[in-house]
Amino acid sequence: MFRTLIETAAPRDADKASFAVVDLETTGLYANSHDRIVEIAVVRLNESGEHLGDFVTLVNPERDIGPTRIHGVSARHVRDAPVFGEIAGDVVAELAGTVLVAHNARFDRDFLRAEFSRLGHQIPESPAVCTLVLARKLHQAKCYKLGALCSELEIPHDKAHSALSDARATATLFTDLIRRALQDPPRGRAALAELGCESWTPPSESEWPKLRATGKRCLRPPAPESREPSSESNYVASLVGRLAPPPSTASAAALEYLALLDRALEDRRVTRDEAELLFATAVRWGLSRDDVVQIHHGYLTSLIGVALQDGVLTDGELSDLREVGELLGYNRDYAGGLVRAALSTARVDQQTRASSTLKGLSVCFTGESICSRNGAPLTRSDAEHLATEAGLRVQASVTKSLDILVLADPDSMSGKAKKARQYGTRLVAERVFWGELGVAID
């Protein structure tokens, strides 16, 4: 399937091209620090997109295993696994002579380089395709994380953060994107060129370290333990999962750095040292200090905007967001100020959007309010005043023309509620209504 695309760039090598789709699970995010690979998977494709075979094994990192609840690998699982030096030759056999493919390719390449470097070997520069960046150029989506793309495109992906499942899903995503590129040749070829694949000729096998393959493998147990964090500890991660995609003008390096930020905040356990390593990684990937500051500011502002979508922000959630601000490099006082400023901006934006959506609709309230605002109970008069300010038309009773009935108790059997149900009027719980309207309540 890929032959037409490859021939555009390197016709003499089209018959030789093959692809190694790689996914790694690691102890952490920072290849040039103390983090190591704990699982590696490679899915091989030929120039026609046909599946050639899989390679997968757990790897003993010879250190703490890292976030088990994220990658699902425990110290017990890797106790008898080979160390990277014992499978380095097997990895060379899988990668030599191929174009590397990965979702956030910089991340995976950095770890592979670091592991070989620890063994005293340098691996050659190979053409690489990042499906994260490629997807942004060839497909309109709400979210470009691997799981979200697979769900939208109906790509099987049953075990997220399992290297083989992720690699297989990435391989399917890659072939889907290539089909899109071939259906729109000018756009597709330009996109691939921008990813650093102007030359599709990978280094020859002689340029790779000459290491013997051992055939050693250690596989995951068939039923990995649950690794879902609690809803409380996963608050920031839940916000990250709902972030809107970055602007289409973002560079490839910025997109991949944003993906690294998502990983860093997946379980909200980032030390100050790791925050420094985030910045060092950004610099190594070609981003300037101004680039990083701008990305961090936009990221935090987006997180706050998502947090406000339900109209409620508790003290604990505010504390979490301040902590994220600190992790992104701001001191505590400045982080708090930035959160408050971004919070104010996000609320104004949300109120503007909500007002424009609901403006002109008629609304009626029923039941004694269970909400408060600025520490004081929200009276019916207050509620009607806030709704009027937002551009809604307040009605005292339910008629057939009423658009919204706001219920203090969603199960209310008041006369207004019964009549609204009879008329088919939209019923909205009080907290939901203020959230949609962008009004902050306690």
Active site residues: 161
Burial of 109-144, coded b for 16+ CB within 10 Å and e otherwise, reads bbbbbbbbeeeebebeebbbbbbbbbbbbbeeeebb
| 204 within 8 A of 134, measured Cβ to Cβ | no
Residue among 288, 289, 305 nearest 243 (CA) = 305
Nearest Cα to Cα of residue 23 among 215, 200, 168: 168
Find, among 324, 281, 270, the residue nearest to 67 by Cα: 270
Q: Please, what is the Cα angle at 409 between 408 and 410, to 5 degrees?
A: 115
3-state secondary structure 366-389: ECCCCCEECCEECCHHHHHHHHHH
Alpha-carbon distance of 415 to 426, in angstroms, equals: 15
Q: What are phi and psi of 58, to 5 degrees?
A: -75, 155
CA-based R_g, the chain, Å = 26
Structure tokens at 332: 């505590």
* Alpha-helical segments (H) within 3-95: 3-9, 68-71, 75-78, 84-95
Query: Could you tell me where the beta strands, DSSP code E, fall in 149-260?
Result: none
